[in-house]
Amino acid sequence: MSQYFEIHPQNPQPRLLRRAVEILEQDGVIVYPTDSCYALGCRIDAKSAHERISRIRQTGPDHHFTLVCPDLSSIATFAKVGNVEYRMLKALTPGPFTFLLPATRELPRRLHHPKRRTIGIRVPEHTVVAGLLEMLGEPILSSTLILPGEALPMTEPDDIRARLEHQVDAVVDGGHCGVEPTTVVDMTTQPPEILRHGREAERVSAGR
């Protein structure tokens, strides 16, 4: 049965953040709030946790997982970013955007898109996420919490707990955080292409 942490969305309690991070460090799977909707997350190197998230989402090999990063400085280790791409990322981060970028050799191959060799990169604007990332000291491998057969993400922590309490190790309740997923931008094309219109999609054109 999963643990359940009620965390203040603006002033998260450090002791609860630490408990969630300890679960991640033990290769666990958590549900946590972001600036768009709730997400499933685990450590990059936690292969078994990665596989658990895939089973929960029932994703195929073409599913793009996302690395949730604290800032742009941590992206270069995992994704290749040119000057043009960097300017756009700087204009749009932090925010509700997922950027598809070519993966570097440092990223485990199992996390690449199998055909395109790309990875999703995200820098959310959310206090709870910032606290988790600071304590963990590395990006969180994430996927939007949309269950099989459903069109929209789960939004209510109590419902998430009821549905997933035997499939995840912790639910971090940061309150309601919306149903609109991130806007996904393919940065491997020129000009960049919006693959999914989500929150604040109109900002992409302004950030080019």
Residue 15 CA to residue 7 CA, distance in Å, equals 10
pLDDT score for 97: 95
What the block records as the tokens of 4 is 């359940």
Phi-psi region of 149 (alpha: psi -120 to 50; beta: other; left: phi over 0): left
The per-residue pLDDT for range 63-107, each reduced to its tens digit, is 889 999 999 998 989 999 999 899 999 999 999 999 999 999 888
**Residues pairing with 172 in the sheet:** 5
pLDDT score for 180: 84
Question: Can you tell me which residue has the tokens 């999609």?
Answer: 201
| Spatial contact of 34 and 131, defined as CB atoms under 8 Å apart | no
**Residue 134 identity:** E
pLDDT bracket for residue 208 (50, 70, 90): low
Residue 91 CA to residue 45 CA, distance in Å, equals 30
Percent of the chain beyond pLDDT 90? 72
pLDDT bracket for residue 206 (50, 70, 90): low
- Provide the residue ranges of all domains of the chain, joining segments of one domain with +: 3-207
- In the chain, the N- to C-terminal Cα span, in Å, equals 46
pLDDT score for 207: 61
Q: Is the pLDDT of residue 52 over 90?
A: yes
The per-residue pLDDT for range 1-45, each reduced to its tens digit, is 789 999 999 999 999 999 999 999 999 999 999 999 999 999 999
Q: Is CATH 3.90.870.10 correct for 3-207?
A: yes
